[in-house]
């Protein structure tokens, strides 16, 4: 296949719409579709893929990869459904015993996930010195006491991202004791430094293995049904992608991929390197920041389904402003509700009876989305206009918050509800509305690079060696995720002083990324990796 015929499909499943695009090797959008998200998310993926392939016609044989950004993992956590029971092993006793695992979780989610926990001897100090010898017997007794009433195991040791040896030893111990078929999630492979948040992310990852198996199987099945000889990948929450086998092992990394996809897609469609991006959907508007064509990452722990975690997420500000947002006409304000994917049935513009912000925008245009508003009472029009003004004020305030005092950044508007954003926004520079911006999230999924991360603690004097070691680890993880070994490179290095250390200490965080490997390379490599681990 010649490069100009090398096509990528990007699919993004949102709360209101499921979008799909086909991108050529030169970055052009050659086919796209937007359809309402269905209750059966897999069915929506199937129909969206069918729609863009139909538009391609015989050229669909040129599709070499399919990338998916999905809400499956998020939905499972929020709805407390399809989650596995997790045996949690914390390595840190006699330290770290006051606050037990999952203590800060919502009660219903904790009851759905926790099979039991043990606070075993182990863990390390910041300098790598062991807190205690690994208590193997305590772990064996804990597993025996559960009598097989668990679906997966989560292991979390103090300072394990820098010193993972004990977690790896526990993984081997568990496999030897209960068998190699039990999935094991290691915190050193999931989150950054910060015991409780990393432990939370690791337990969520373990609880999502069944969900991950279902969605990865669904994607590969749908691709096979269409007769595509294409590699399959999943978008992750930092704007990069990972091979389907990698996603099956680390499903928690798919959480938050939607906003990251939108920001990356906005960069590709607008050509901007640094900008504020607003993605206006049917229910919310998500604002993020482009820094060097990648999403700016949040420095704060993020909550997922009421659980505090510390895996990398885009710095996102969400507003209750979307095309389907219901308007309280009497008060003249957007309400805390949305018609979501039912907008084409319930909004006034489409013959329904529910006033929405789409209707409010239509009061300023004779035609919107090919439809005209029916005759409205003056009071209704006034209420819609007032609500639209409130929405504009909220957008301006959000732009000011996200700019962090840096005025004049361009504001890139994407998403199906982009018409809600005014042409001039206080605090922003030029308002850019790129062509195909309504499917920017799917574009972001289609153009994503494979990525990997690694953290390392070091003395200030050992900074260079630590960066080199973390870079090697990050590059290896990017290759495992599907990157071409010949083209992967370090794209970000972050150095942070560590507080309360007995001597000057740095935390070094390295991110690597690269284009997808040739078809078949990443899956085969990951197959070998999975076999070695099991």
The single residue listed with the structure tokens 């229910």 is 283
- CB burial readout 75-95, b (16+ within 10 A) else e: bbbeeeebbbbbbbbbbbbee
What pLDDT is stored for residue 294 in this prediction? 81
The rounded distance, in Å, linking the Cα atoms of 101 and 186 is: 15
The rounded distance, in Å, linking the Cα atoms of 358 and 351 is: 13
What pLDDT is stored for residue 255 in this prediction? 87
- Running DSSP on this structure, what letter comes out for residue 454? E
What pLDDT is stored for residue 519 in this prediction? 45
The rounded distance, in Å, linking the Cα atoms of 240 and 447 is: 9
What pLDDT is stored for residue 497 in this prediction? 84
CA distances from 457 to 195, 254, 450, 453 (A): 15, 26, 25, 14
CA dihedral 169, 165, 122, 196 (to 10 degrees): -110
Tokens of 382: 């006034």
Contacts of 251 (CB under 8 A, 6+ apart): 73, 205, 208, 209, 211, 212, 215
What pLDDT is stored for residue 509 in this prediction? 87
What pLDDT is stored for residue 185 in this prediction? 97
The rounded distance, in Å, linking the Cα atoms of 213 and 364 is: 48
CB contact at 8 A, 213 and 238? no
What pLDDT is stored for residue 439 in this prediction? 92
426-434: Cβ within 8 A, 24+ apart: 426/396, 426/399, 426/400, 427/396, 427/399, 427/400, 427/403, 428/276, 428/399, 428/403, 432/270, 432/272, 432/275, 434/266, 434/269, 434/270
Tokens of 498: 């560590």
Query: Digits of tens for pLDDT over the chain (534 positions)?
Result: 344 468 999 998 876 778 999 999 888 899 999 887 777 777 888 889 999 999 998 888 899 899 998 878 887 888 888 999 999 999 999 998 999 999 999 999 999 999 999 999 999 998 889 999 999 999 999 999 999 899 999 999 999 988 999 999 999 999 999 999 999 999 998 877 789 999 999 999 999 999 999 888 889 999 999 999 898 999 988 888 888 888 999 999 888 888 888 998 999 999 999 999 999 988 889 999 998 888 888 877 778 888 988 777 788 888 889 999 999 999 999 998 898 778 889 999 999 999 999 999 999 875 676 788 999 999 999 999 999 999 999 999 999 999 988 888 999 999 889 999 999 999 899 999 999 999 999 999 998 888 888 888 888 888 899 999 999 999 998 898 888 899 899 988 888 887 766 778 888 889 898 887 654 433 333 343 433 443
**C-alpha 461: how far from chain center:** 35
The rounded distance, in Å, linking the Cα atoms of 100 and 80 is: 21
The single residue listed with the structure tokens 């005014």 is 422
CA distances from 449 to 313, 455, 477, 513, 514 (A): 16, 20, 13, 6, 5
Closest CA to 460 of 490, 491, 498, 493: 498
The full length of the chain comes to 534
């Amino acid at each position: 296949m010649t490069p100009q015929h090398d096509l990528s499909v990007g699919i993004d499943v949102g709360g209101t719409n499921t979008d799909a695009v086909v991108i050529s090797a030169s970055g052009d959008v050659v086919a796209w579709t937007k359809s309402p998200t269905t209750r059966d998310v897999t069915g929506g993926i199937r129909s969206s893929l069918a729609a863009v392939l139909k538009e391609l016609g015989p050229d669909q044989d040129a599709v070499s990869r399919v990338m998916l950004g999905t809400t499956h993992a998020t939905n499972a956590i929020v709805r407390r459904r399809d989650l596995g029971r997790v045996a949690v092993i914390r390595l840190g006793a006699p330290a770290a015993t006051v606050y037990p695992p999952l203590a800060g979780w919502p009660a219903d989610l904790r009851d759905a996930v926790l099979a039991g926990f043990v606070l075993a001897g182990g863990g390390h100090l910041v300098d790598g010195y062991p807190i205690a010898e690994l208590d193997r017997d305590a772990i064996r007794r804990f597993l025996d006491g559960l009598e097989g009433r668990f679906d997966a195991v989560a292991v979390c040791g103090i300072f394990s991202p820098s010193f993972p040896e004990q977690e790896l030893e526990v993984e081997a111990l568990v496999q030897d004791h209960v068998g190699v078929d039990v999935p094991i999630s290691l915190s050193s492979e999931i989150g950054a430094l910060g015991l409780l948040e990393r432990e939370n992310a690791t337990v969520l990852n373990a609880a999502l293995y069944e969900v991950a198996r279902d969605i990865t199987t669904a994607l590969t099945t749908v691709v096979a049904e269409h007769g595509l000889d294409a590699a399959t990948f999943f978008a992750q929450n930092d704007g990069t992608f990972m091979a389907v086998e990698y996603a099956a092992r680390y499903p928690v990394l798919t959480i938050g991929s939607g906003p990251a996809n939108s920001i990356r897609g906005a960069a590709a469609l607008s050509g901007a390197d640094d900008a504020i991006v607003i993605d206006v959907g049917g229910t919310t508007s998500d604002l993020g920041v482009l820094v060097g064509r990648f999403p700016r990452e949040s420095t704060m722990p993020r909550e997922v389904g009421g659980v505090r975690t510390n895996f990398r997420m885009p710095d996102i500000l969400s507003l209750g402003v979307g095309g389907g947002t219901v308007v309280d006409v009497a008060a003249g304000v957007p309400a805390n509700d949305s018609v979501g994917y039912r907008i084409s049935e319930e909004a006034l513009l489409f013959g329904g009876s529910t006033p929405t912000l789409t209707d409010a925008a239509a009061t300023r245009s004779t035609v919107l989305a090919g439809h005209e508003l029916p005759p409205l009472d003056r009071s209704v029009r006034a209420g819609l206009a007032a609500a639209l003004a409130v929405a504009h004020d909220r957008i301006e305030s959000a732009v000011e918050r996200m700019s962090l005092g840096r005025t004049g950044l361009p504001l890139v508007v994407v998403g199906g509800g982009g018409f809600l954003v005014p042409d001039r926004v206080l605090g922003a520079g030029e308002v850019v509305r790129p062509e195909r911006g309504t499917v920017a999230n799917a574009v972001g999924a289609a153009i994503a690079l494979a990525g990997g991360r690694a953290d390392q603690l070091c003395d200030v004097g050992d900074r260079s060696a630590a960066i080199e070691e973390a870079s090697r680890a990050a590059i290896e993880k990017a290759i495992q995720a599907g990157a071409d070994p010949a083209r992967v490179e370090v794209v970000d290095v972050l150095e942070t002083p560590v507080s309360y250390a007995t001597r000057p200490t740095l935390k070094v965080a390295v991110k690597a990324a690269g284009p997808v490997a040739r078809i078949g390379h990443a899956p085969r490599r990951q197959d070998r990796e999975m076999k070695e681990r099991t």
